[in-house]
Amino acid sequence: MAKNNPHFEFLKQLTRVIEQAGSSMEQVLALSELKDSPSIGSSERVKQESDAVVMLQSAIELTQNPALPLHLGRLFDVTALGSYGFAIMSCTDLGSCMRIMRRYQTTLGAGPRWRILDHGAVLAIRTSIALGSPDQRRVVSELVFSQLCSSAEFLINDRLSGAELHLCYAAPRHATEYEQLLSIPVTFDQPHNQLLLPKALLSSPVRTANRNGHEVFLQQCEKMLQGRNKIENTSAAVRRLLLQSAGEFPCVRQTAQHLHLSERTLRRRLDAEGSTFRAIKEEVKNILALKYLANTQLTIAEVASLLDYTEAVNFRQAFLRWHGITPIQYRQQRL
């Protein structure tokens, strides 16, 4: 199974940029007062991230390039994310990529936690950077949003037409380089750090789409997710309960009661983990739909009923939204 190691990718690309500027990683480490590069694969996530930020700041000082994080983000390679990255790359469209991102981002371990919010005409990909000083948070925001924009452009092989970037800090002195490097409008002093994607852009086809390989990578991501959920968080507890209740899904109030929580506490905990009850229920329905269609002879109407859809047409529309094909087409592909 391909392992996800964005931390290693960061060090590799930072070394490349530093050397191109005529310096060395040894100089960065000396300036950072780090005896050695941060350990790769360490479970000390906070230490890894804080070390990486200090190194990035030292690299900026050494190269005298304040826009270095933006440039560094443009070099990001999605394949460095292992099975998670390949699952995204094998999606049929950008909207599917966003769903994979939402479900499996925790398999990466270190890094930002993205919330994906539906605002009608646009999809907001939002993150909150809480690590370090205001300057450090700005540096991290520049890096991760540059990576995000670059990855999305790579996937659809085009610019992100109609997209906007909102950032919650004041415009830095190198603000003009944001739009030059990211190719989208950027607005500062906003309530949230978020990339806004118009809904029309989500139907853009992914140039590396691979439906046969997609299912394999999804299975690998699911195994990694299950491994991370051995120490169960609230999202995992809700997911487990819904999976066990297939056919008679509890509502959010009943779920909270089962977990000995108030509904308000349940919603608050899920929000803190970047999820919602509705999103988890959709994920569970998606998982069960694939299982029923692949491993049973149930009719489409029977599968729809098991998944709590009052009409088969509603299930068909949901499946089409999840995978870009109908349940019948999915079954035919597996023959």
Give the DSSP per-residue string, 89-139. HT-SBHHHHHHHHHHHGGGG-SS---EEEE-SSEEEEEE---SSSHHHHHH
pLDDT at residue 5, rounded to an integer: 58
Largest CA distance in the chain: 65
pLDDT truncated to tens, each residue of the chain (335 aa)?
A: 444 556 667 888 888 889 988 988 889 888 887 644 444 333 333 345 667 888 899 999 999 999 999 999 999 889 888 889 999 999 999 999 999 998 888 787 666 788 899 888 999 999 887 656 788 889 999 999 999 999 999 999 999 999 999 999 999 999 999 999 999 999 999 999 999 999 999 999 999 999 888 989 999 988 888 776 554 588 888 988 888 776 688 999 999 998 888 999 999 888 877 788 988 998 889 888 988 888 888 899 999 998 989 899 999 998 888 887 899 988 887 76
170 and 97 Cβ atoms separated by less than 8 Å: no
CATH 1.10.10.60 residue ranges in the chain? Answer: 229-333
- pTM of the predicted model, to two decimals? 0.66
Domain boundaries for CATH 3.90.1520.10 within the chain = 6-202
> What is the rounded CA–CA span in Å between residue 51 and residue 42?
12
Torsion on CA atoms 19, 25, 31, 34, rounded to nearest 10: 160
Q: Exposed, middle or buried by CB within 10 Å (0-12, 13-18, 19+), for 127? A: buried
Spatial contact of 167 and 187, defined as CB atoms under 8 Å apart: yes
- φ/ψ of 276, rounded to 5, equals -140, 160
Euclidean distance between CA atoms 102 and 80, whole angstroms = 18
Cα separation, 76 vs 297, whole angstroms: 44
CATH, domain range 229-333: 1.10.10.60
Return the CATH number of the domain spanning residue range 6-202.
3.90.1520.10
